[in-house]
Amino acid sequence: MRRINPARFQVATRSTSREINRSIVLNLVRAHQPISRADLARTMGVRRGAVSLIVDDLLKSNLIFEGATGETLRGRKPTFLYIDSRRSAVIAADIRASETFLMLADLLGKPLTGVVSFPTDRDPKRLVSALALRINSLLAEHRDLDVCQGIGIVVPGMVEHSTMKVLHAPTLGWRDVNLRDPLAAATGLPVQIENSGRACALAQVWAMRGDAAATSGNLVFVSVSDGVGVGVIIHGELLRGRHNIAGEFGHVPLSLDGPRCSCGANGCWEAYISNRATLARYFGRTEQEHFTIEDLIVRARNRDAKAVAAIESTARYLGLGLASVINALDPARVYIGGEITRAWDLIEGPVRVALAERTLTPAAAETDIQRVDANEYPRLQGAAALVSAPPFAAPVVA
């Protein structure tokens, strides 16, 4: 059996609420399932009776279920606990300027279908119609599922947390766009919307990977696609700021007279490292419509010198911008997501060199940087977590 290090978990004391204890147990079950009540009690350092009360409560709420009987050397055979992801599903959507991606996932964010994509209609009304049509047919194809818990959507822009209105999405040319209400009306499902970088960061905290403890709740997620989305977690909490724009490092300038950015300004970090920026560097002004960043990476691997140069430039600017992020926030870990990570073996070196040039101490230059595999669709994982993770949300526990 996997070993669990009790020191990694903070156990809520008697004075903390029942909700927190529920969340702690849920997170432990999710990170270590299948797990017995006895192992839960050991991990939390509390009596078995106390754990059983919480577990019974969660069983009644259908958030976990009891599965196969486990093997032990002697004594009573324990039953194992699982997150109940069998019959419930969520819809995850990743809206980007070029394409929109969609999948059906279980409550743990595991895909139940392949990922489908279609060109993004920038007219919000038509986009909502297209989304509703595809979502309704996805659900019709999966009538065996008992419940769809809702739709989680990530967007390339700033989102007002209370209303989920898209305040500004530069790459889409949107301001004050309400997708939530019309999509909820067209599908009959609750809709959650969040900025893509933030949703990716939240998904990390909600321990999709189960190693959030290593960061002590201080991490940054940089999502590079048509634009650049950044999510900042400080002490386990997502940084939103007074006007919902906190952490928008994509629009911090690297140079005041740099290339034009989608936001209208010049020289933003995004204008140097987005997929569009990398492709523009390769093609010059005449960007080719059906040529993707993946195609460029293939050319670089086939020793196309121009392709290698374009990708290495992006890597250098990625490192320079990361140095600003690290100097400003000093996170324990930075996650990088996006298609460019498929070329990680080509870019990690130049990223590290640029980072070391600008970080303020040698230790900061060694900040843990982890790429998130593009095949895992981190943005769709983030979208799914918007719906499935809130019951797990609690102070940093795992």
Q: Which residues bind Zn ion (CB under 5 A)?
A: 251, 261, 263, 265, 268
Both tokens of 264, joined, read 């209208």
If one counts every other C-beta atom within 10 angstroms of the C-beta of residue 213, the result is 17
Q: How far is the CB of 201 from Zn ion (least distance, A)?
A: 20
Q: How far is the CB of 96 from Zn ion (least distance, A)?
A: 16
Q: How far is the CB of 170 from Zn ion (least distance, A)?
A: 6
Q: How far is the CB of 17 from Zn ion (least distance, A)?
A: 42
Q: Which is nearer to Zn ion, 32 or 251 (CB)?
A: 251
Closest CA to 91 of 67, 68, 107, 73: 107
Q: How far is the CB of 230 from Zn ion (least distance, A)?
A: 12
Q: How far is the CB of 253 from Zn ion (least distance, A)?
A: 8
